Structure 1
Amino acid sequence: MTSDLLPMIAAERRRIADLIDSLTPEQLATPSLCGEWTVQEVAGHLAVPFLVPQWRFLPLILRSGFSLHAANARLAREVGRRPAGGLAAALRSHAEHPLRPPVVGHPGQLTDLQVHGQDIRRPLGLPGDLHPDPLRVSLDFLVGGRAIGFIDRRWIAGLRFEATDLDWSAGAGPLVRGPGEAVLLALTGRRVVLPELTGDGVAVLAGRGT
């Protein structure tokens, strides 16, 4: 399965590179759906593996108090200060790179690209339909127990999620139902999609922290 995901990953990198190249400076400075990152800083995050040498990661983790999240955020902001065209070029020229992050592997890499692509598109009001096959891979990954750093298990615990356009479901309990793209973002804690979902579980999510 891993090798089957590489063409999907390459396609997503190229889609995001094309997207970044199409944006104005104002759009690049827009807050994304991902925490406090701007659209350009999200692009920086996705380009980090191709622009930052590996030897820099350990010292940065040490300076960040052994917090991978904090180190990741610092790198995203640092690399996000580079010209947007260079970030797009890095994603495009490394589209077929077989990067395989530890633990989460290629499913995690594909999911990172799909989720962050929507983090960019949605605040800008840009269409971002995700292809069904990669979307299904990411939904399975998020509920499969290996999505470390992607989801908070307390956020989705005791709920059933259903994608109306994919014939996909997982979990048991009050229902959270809607388009697969909205379910993907809901699983990763993006509250902005809750109005697009139906079922008794939506109110449960709305009452939870992330």
Structure 2
Amino acid sequence: MLVYDMVVRERRALAETLGRLTADELRQPSLCAGWTMHDIAAHLTTYLTFGQVKLYLGIMATAADIDRINVVLTRRAARRPTAELIDTLRRHADARTTIPRSGFDPVLTDAILHDLDIRRPLGIVREVAEEPRWVAFNHLARNPALGYAKGPRLGQLELTATDTGWRYGAGVPVRGTAEALLLAMSGRDDGWDELDGDGVPLLRERVRNRPQFHPVRRLAMAANVLINPPPADRRSRTATAPPRTPITPG
């Protein structure tokens, strides 16, 4: 399946999940720090009709502070009723706006993570295909886009997903399910009790104390992305997860 098609499918699944939440559940905190379930719904709509030009302007206006862009856009969108946000997410699930020159991998990663942000606190179970999780794992580990590039968080660590056998890096071991690893790699403060290995304390320390880049450094990082030729597959590609090779924790 194409990564773009995975994005569309995940957006529609998110709309269905959000549509089943009660008013009380929508007010509950998500795993995304400072955001409720309603805020997640708002965030998911922000880039659907935003347009690439506006995104470039936002990057320049905030010195490539993607976190700030997300906060501002989400706060604005959150003024709308949840039902209206969900309708927007459904109607524009096929939107093609991406982070500049980064393709659909970060868009899919964002959807996968926000799905976890919603479901885990509320105890909602959903079967997720391995291909989207594989794309997110690879993206966070190997080539994070603007907004995910938060320093050498994974350096000198060996990550192993015990339920799928996926591996990344070399060094002190960190083992756990693919879901728990995705949460840790993305900076979520959840799922640490599902990880083991001597590298867990180091990874947790790096997540809690992520580097804060100077605006000039952020702009330089953004410029490096923008001036380099985009990857040939930045729009989409077929992505297939490798065969499962479950590993016993320990």
Aligned Cα RMSD in Å?
2.2
- The equivalent of 1:21 in structure 2 is 19
Paired with 1:67 and 1:49, the residues of 2 have a C-alpha distance of 16
Count of residues paired in the alignment: 208
Q: Contact 1:176–1:202 at 8 Å: present in 2 too?
A: yes
Q: Which amino acid aligns with 1:12?
A: E
Residues 79 and 140 (structure 1 numbering): CA distance in 2 closer, same or farther, change over 3 Å? Answer: same
Paired with 1:98 and 1:29, the residues of 2 have a C-alpha distance of 29
Paired with 2:94 and 2:49, the residues of 1 have a C-alpha distance of 15
Q: Which amino acid aligns with 1:111?
A: T
Paired with 2:102 and 2:144, the residues of 1 have a C-alpha distance of 6
Per-residue CA deviations over 1:76-103 (Å, capped at 9, x if unaligned) read 1210221111111111112222333213
Q: Contact 1:100–1:109 at 8 Å: present in 2 too?
A: yes
Normalised by the length of structure 1, the TM-score is 0.88
Q: Which amino acid aligns with 1:77?
A: R
Paired with 1:104 and 1:65, the residues of 2 have a C-alpha distance of 18
- The equivalent of 1:80 in structure 2 is 78
Paired with 1:146 and 1:61, the residues of 2 have a C-alpha distance of 17
Deviation at 1:65, TM superposition (A): 6.6
3-state SS of the aligned residue for 1:73?
helix
Paired with 1:128 and 1:55, the residues of 2 have a C-alpha distance of 35
- The equivalent of 1:32 in structure 2 is 30
Residues 58 and 141 (structure 1 numbering): CA distance in 2 closer, same or farther, change over 3 Å? Answer: closer
- The equivalent of 1:171 in structure 2 is 169
3-state SS of the aligned residue for 2:164?
coil
Larger Rg: 2
Q: Which has the higher helix share?
A: 1
| Larger mean Cα displacement after TM superposition, 161-170 or 49-58 | 49-58
- The equivalent of 1:117 in structure 2 is 115
Paired with 2:175 and 2:82, the residues of 1 have a C-alpha distance of 36
- The equivalent of 1:95 in structure 2 is 93
Residues 104 and 61 (structure 1 numbering): CA distance in 2 closer, same or farther, change over 3 Å? Answer: closer
- Aligned mate of 2:66, from 53, 65, 68: 68
Deviation at 1:111, TM superposition (A): 0.3
Q: Contact 2:158–2:170 at 8 Å: present in 1 too?
A: yes
Paired with 1:21 and 1:13, the residues of 2 have a C-alpha distance of 12
Paired with 2:35 and 2:195, the residues of 1 have a C-alpha distance of 25
Residues 151 and 191 (structure 1 numbering): CA distance in 2 closer, same or farther, change over 3 Å? Answer: farther
Superposed counterparts of 1:188-199, under 5 Å: 188-199=186-197
Normalised by the length of structure 2, the TM-score is 0.75
Q: Which has the higher contact order (CA 8 A, sep 6+)?
A: 2
Residues 60 and 100 (structure 1 numbering): CA distance in 2 closer, same or farther, change over 3 Å? Answer: closer
- The equivalent of 1:134 in structure 2 is 132
| Larger mean Cα displacement after TM superposition, 35-44 or 140-149 | 140-149
Q: Which amino acid aligns with 1:67?
A: D
